[in-house]
Chain A
Amino acid sequence: MGRTGYRYLAAAVAGCLAAGAVALPAAAAEDSNFVPLFTYRTGPFSGSGIPIANGMRDYLEMLNQRDGGIGGAKIAIEECETGYDTKKGLECYEAVKGKNPVMINPWSTGITLPLIPKAKVDKIPVLSMAYGLSASALGDTFPWVFNPPNTYWDGLSMIIRYIGEQEGGLDKLKGKKLGYIYLDAGFGKEPIPMFEQFAKDLGFELKLYPVAATDMQNQSSQWLGVRRDRPDYMVMYGWGALNPTAIKEAVRINYPMAKFISIWWPSEDDAKSAGDGAKGFKELNWHGVGTDFPVIKDIQKLVVDKGLSQVAKDKVGEVLYNRGVYNSMLIAEAIRNAQKLTGKKAVTGEDVRRGLETIDLTPARLKELGMEGFTDPLKLTCSDHNGHGATFMQEWNGEKYVKVSGPLKPMTDKVEPLVQSAAKDYAEKNTGWPKRTEVCDKAS
């Protein structure tokens, strides 16, 4: 490479640096609400990230197409790719922070945790839908963080309740053995103290099978342990490639699938790749699957069929896609409430925080949203940022998930003390954690 080479190189570098120096153009225009979506369509967790990203985006896009946005203000949607990487997530946060975002949906517990203390300072609410910090369900300690409709602790208590129903009463769990296979990270570890408490109270034995993120696709030793210990039930808290591998391994060792129960993250693809043996696999869910809902039909008609979405047509209505839709519905409701509370069209993060606290999805409201039968009513208040609603169990029948249980309510008496003490612990460890000063709105 001679002198000219260097010159090109220098030009290239200069170009890149110049490009970097120019500030990002502001996206927020007149009368629009800026909703940044933190997505991960790349990286090792993209299997879970892509359908969620599609669902979230498509619902908001549908509102833009059908209603011209929310309350007469367009929704400015901007995706920021995090790759499930905390570093990139924080970079995304800094990039959107100055553009008046109405809220942040981090979609990663690792990104949620650093944002929790920042939310109050920057006046941007964080909506970590059924993930993140379970303790943030307490609005009095965490006025800026929301995690409806369930925490991971709720989830575990519902799984235990379900197992109890299957066995004919919680007292029948005595002397049984339960296995817990989980991603060895904050997300999977959070339920353990509660699980241990249950084991003590109900008299069952708990076996732990941690899976390191690096060994998600290499679980034969964990499942060998399952063969040795022969747990009566297996509970799974997995994410990304952990889920399909675990289901395959369970099939391989002939574990009775009907007794293999997961938290709400496995998708259709996760079960499908294990073949017929995966029939009977169960997971919790709180919303409908499939396309037989007016809201999904609208998305299909106005977004997917028009080619405005990145989703493959047959993937609309899958579990994680619909979960994305549900998430965006909460965003939209919060914006709508904020508009009502303030009378403004373009709202700020502060307004939307109030909007989130006044979310009240009554059956009538759900019908208006085209979500009748899609999900249960949900009501958030200033002190309850979660709802702790009921979920149901769904079973994989070889082609799709079907509902196999009635509503499963969380065991509030077990969850509540844990949430309280965790929140207290959090506030104590973060010396100077601010007391709630935000005033409480009456639901409108």
Chain B
Amino acid sequence: MTILYAIFVDPFVQMAGAPDLLVQALWDGLVSGVLYALIALGFVLIFKASGVFNFAQGIMVVFAALTLVGLHEKGVPAFLALALTVAVMFVLAVGVERVVLRPLVNQPDIILFIATFGLTYFLIGFGELIFGGNPKAMITDQLFLPRGVVDVPMLGGMVSFQKIDIAAAIIASLMVAGLAVFFQNTRIGRALRAVADSHKAALSVGISLNQIWVIVWFAAGLVALAAGIMWGARSEVSFALEIIALKALPVLVLGGLTSVPGAIIGGLIIGVGEKLGEFYWGPLVGGGIESWLAYFIALAVLLVRPQGLFGEKIIERI
């Protein structure tokens, strides 16, 4: 009985008892959700256009942030470093298309999947070789990103909003909106959607697959850069960040591999879900359940909808 009470009643009593903490937990969850969603978005873009499950997205986040900070460390002004990093991500996109995707066109998914593992290894070695393996502080001030906390008294308590988190939410929304507009209203965007629908049909109407691939990888690189800056500002830029990117996987399957809104809503669900779970139910089993809770949430959803919340329905024929 006490167990049932601890599981089903007590957490809610706590929530009602300290509504400011509940709001704080929700906000923290939303922020990490947004950041998960940013990483997941990179996956979705690439998966939609090229059918590649890009495992290297996590390392691209680290690599982009590392390039930015590393260049700045070598004396490049912050915004020039930002521009150069964007250029590096473009070169990376072209390189990936030339060296990895083009020779492997038409191979089974799993082969491409493993190829992106190879890319991950390569980027780890390359990044460490050039910028060193030591963690670096994100150049928050130089990029005019805000620092500090806004404390808002509410509900008989205090909820603190970190300015960088607010900035992260705004930047992420802008990026998503920008991508949506890009997809809907530009020529390239329409071509991208065509490729996502059918490679062959797209080819037959004269869309260059190679060009499209470069564009999506570049877009994924930019999303990775944004995610890297935000995570880096919250902790530091180091290769340990790569592990966090794994959290994007449950987000991804929850939302559906091919859906941009799915990635965002999935991110928010996972972010909020794991924060509330850890905060209110975690202590019952000794804490630390955050490491697997996200995957179980995703698993539960998948059992009901095997294609994720917003994924295209899987139709199988003989």
| In-complex A–B contact (CB below 8 Å) | yes
Contact A210 B288 (CB under 8 A): yes
Within 8 Å of chain A (Cβ to Cβ): is B243? yes
Q: List 10 A-B contacts (CB under 8 A).
A: A41-B134, A44-B242, A44-B243, A47-B135, A214-B291, A221-B274, A240-B240, A241-B135, A272-B137, A275-B147
Query: Interface-forming stretch among B18-26, B108-116, B215-223?
Result: B18-26
Within 8 Å of chain A (Cβ to Cβ): is B282? yes
Interface size of B by CB at 8 A reads 43
Residues on A with beta carbons closer than 8 Å to the beta carbon of B283: 225
Residues on B with beta carbons closer than 8 Å to the beta carbon of A213: 243
Contact B28 A220 (CB under 8 A): yes
Residues on B with beta carbons closer than 8 Å to the beta carbon of A208: 286-287
Residues on A with beta carbons closer than 8 Å to the beta carbon of B282: 221
Q: How far is the CB of B39 from chain A (nearest CB, A)?
A: 12
Contact B234 A212 (CB under 8 A): no
Q: Mark B212-253, 1 if CB is under 8 A from A, else 0.
A: 000000000000000000010011101111111011000000
Residues on B with beta carbons closer than 8 Å to the beta carbon of A440: none
Give 8 A-B pairs besides A44-B239, A211-B288, A241-B240 with Cβ atoms closer than 8 angstroms.
A42-B128, A44-B243, A45-B240, A47-B238, A208-B286, A218-B32, A224-B279, A241-B135
Contact A46 B21 (CB under 8 A): no
Residues on A with beta carbons closer than 8 Å to the beta carbon of B149: 252, 254
Contact A47 B134 (CB under 8 A): yes
Which 10 pairs, one residue from A and one from B, show the smallest C-beta to C-beta distance?
A44-B240, A46-B133, A245-B235, A47-B135, A273-B137, A221-B278, A241-B240, A217-B235, A212-B291, A220-B28
Contact B275 A244 (CB under 8 A): no
Give chain A's interface residues, CB within 8 Å of chain B: 41-47, 50, 184, 208-218, 220-222, 224-225, 227-228, 240-241, 244-245, 248, 252-254, 269, 272-273, 275
Contact B275 A252 (CB under 8 A): no
Within 8 Å of chain A (Cβ to Cβ): is B290? yes
Contact A244 B235 (CB under 8 A): yes
Contact A228 B18 (CB under 8 A): yes
Residues on A with beta carbons closer than 8 Å to the beta carbon of B242: 44
Within 8 Å of chain A (Cβ to Cβ): is B160? yes
Contact A218 B28 (CB under 8 A): no
Q: Mark B20-42, 1 if CB is under 8 A from A, else 0.
A: 01001100100110000000000
Contact A245 B246 (CB under 8 A): no
- On whether A210 and B134 interact (CB within 8 A), knowing A47-B238, A217-B235, A244-B236, the answer reads no
**Cα distance A34–B235 in the bound complex, in angstroms:** 39
Residues on A with beta carbons closer than 8 Å to the beta carbon of B239: 42-44, 46
**Cα distance A224–B283 in the bound complex, in angstroms:** 12
Q: How far is the CB of A441 from chain B (nearest CB, A)?
A: 41
Residues on A with beta carbons closer than 8 Å to the beta carbon of B128: 42
